[in-house]
Amino acid sequence: MKLMHLQRTMARAVMQPLTSSERMQRRAPDGSPMKRYASRFIKPNDRLTSFERLEIYNRQYWFRVLSALGEDFSGLRAVLGQRRFDEMSKAYLIANPSRSFTMRNLGSKMELWLRKNPKWAGKNQALALDIVRLEWAEVEAFDGKTEAALQAEDIASAAGAAGGKWKLKLQPYVRLLSFSYPVDDLLLEVRKEDADTDFASNTFTERRKRKRVRAMAKLKPAQIFLAVHRIDNSVYFRRLEREDFSILTGLQQGKTIGAAVESAMRKNALPSEEWPGKVQTCFQTWAALGWFCRPQKKSAAG
């Protein structure tokens, strides 16, 4: 058996879903008995049959990918509940098996898949999609590319050029999102509960945790604007005012500073006399956070 064929044959068996008792299926992907299928490419040893050796890989694959999804989407787990989340995760992984050498990409299709399969979240669909978007933005912010940052001496000229033709590019790792629910508070509370449980894992703590998580998962709608960013290899959430979000989104879309600010002014009722000071303060804050790449002048063709 050639190497590529061997790899694909084994992968099909390893990625086949487990039984309800978390054992390997008795039937192989091609419908043949799994014992015969396993013996085609795995030898038995003095302790384990070919089937048993393959089953180890099959079970470890599923335990690992399910664990990875649970770690990446603890907020979604809180919204759905543990049992439903486990069932949803299996369905998601059957439809979207791992195709990468890294677990990082495992949940990349979760938002799209949930939109196409709304039965899993039911009446909490909007909240579930919000929390998934936030949790995936965290993944992207954590390992997104970093470019040369705006220097301190550039801050004054960049902020003062709000009416000019300067463009400021946001760092690739910065994610800007608007939500219908305060999911940042929900996610932070879920993680606090998880941390508390690690230190006091008993029946009372688990019961209290489930009660609080259920209450959090019934959040009332409240629009928020959020920047998900990174500082020293840690990811943070930063709430933004509507006009701040509008300016940053404009810059991310490639607008000049002046165009981004003007667009934000048209959409908001902030008095015009307050805008110069606000713009300067905002740009200084964002630059200090390292959100900007080195500025470039708008080209003549632009």
The domain spans of the chain are 3-142, 147-180+223-297
Sheet of 234-240: strand order equals 175-179, 224-231, 234-240
Axis crossing angle, helix 203-216 with helix 183-199, rounded to the nearest 10: 180
pLDDT of res. 47: 95
82-95 and 50-72 helices, crossing angle to 10°: 120
Could you tell me if 65 and 98 are in contact, meaning their C-beta atoms sit under 8 angstroms apart?
A: yes
How confident is the prediction along the chain (302 residues), in pLDDT tens digits per residue? 788 898 899 999 999 999 999 999 999 999 999 999 999 999 999 999 999 999 999 999 999 999 999 999 999 999 999 999 999 999 999 999 998 889 999 999 999 999 999 999 999 999 999 999 999 999 999 999 999 888 766 666 555 554 457 788 999 999 999 999 999 999 998 888 777 665 555 555 556 655 665 666 567 889 999 999 999 999 999 999 999 999 999 999 999 888 999 888 887 777 878 888 888 899 889 999 999 997 655 554 44
Can you tell me the distance from the alpha carbon of 19 to that of 155, in angstroms, rounded to the nearest whole number? 60
Q: Please, what is the end-to-end C-alpha distance for the chain in angstroms? A: 58
Long-range contacts of 212-217 (CB under 8 A, 24+ apart): 213/78, 214/81, 216/78, 216/186, 216/189, 216/190, 217/78, 217/79, 217/124, 217/127, 217/186
Cβ–Cβ under 8 Å, residues 53 and 44: yes
Per-residue model confidence (pLDDT) at position 202: 57
Phi then psi dihedrals of residue 81, to 5 deg: 95, 150
> Helix 242-252 and helix 275-288: axis angle, to 10°?
60
Distance CA 39, CA 29 (A): 14
pLDDT of residue 207: 62
**Which amino acid belongs to residue 215?**
A
6-12, Cβ contacts within 8 angstroms, sequence gap of 24 or more: 6/41, 9/40, 9/41, 10/41, 10/42, 10/54, 10/57
Name residue 56's amino acid. I
